[in-house]
């Protein structure tokens, strides 16, 4: 069965479909979590307490709406546009991240949020 999560940011709720991999399983099993996230360009990231090494499919080039775990920072990352590491209009992580899923809705509202946000992540 495909795993889903629900992400609550203020009064907004978005859903994401999760990938099937070890990093996703570790993150999913640790839910629910409240994470304080910081903005870096059009990416939010925050320590989610997940300690992993770079996976075989780890990469820096991401897509809008993708979720990943950043091994170097034990952080959940939400990508919604270009970051300071981007070379074009696509999101790019500062270093390789382990993709764990993708948000199924429009994430453009994230561009209007402050530098620091609280995010609640629950099993969907």
Q: What is the pLDDT of residues 52-80, one digit of tens each?
A: 999 999 999 999 999 999 999 999 999 99
Please give the average per-residue pLDDT across 31-41, as a whole number. 98
Measured between alpha carbons, how far apart are the two ends of the chain, in Å? 12
- Name the class of domain 4-123: mainly beta
- Chain segment 76-96, per-residue pLDDT in tens: 999 999 999 999 999 999 999
1 pLDDT more than 80: no
């Amino acid at each position: 069965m495909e795993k889903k999560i629900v992400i609550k940011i203020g009064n907004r709720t978005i859903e994401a479909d999760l990938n099937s991999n070890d990093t996703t399983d570790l993150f999913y099993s640790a839910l629910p979590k409240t994470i304080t996230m910081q903005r870096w360009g059009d990416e939010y990231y925050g320590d989610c307490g997940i300690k992993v090494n770079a996976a075989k499919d780890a990469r820096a080039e991401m897509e809008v709406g993708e979720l990943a775990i950043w091994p170097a920072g034990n952080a959940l990352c939400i990508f919604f546009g270009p970051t300071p590491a981007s070379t074009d209009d696509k999101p790019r992580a500062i270093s390789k991240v382990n993709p764990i899923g993708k948000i199924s809705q429009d994430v453009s509202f994230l561009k209007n949020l402050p530098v620091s946000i609280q995010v609640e992540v629950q099993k969907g």
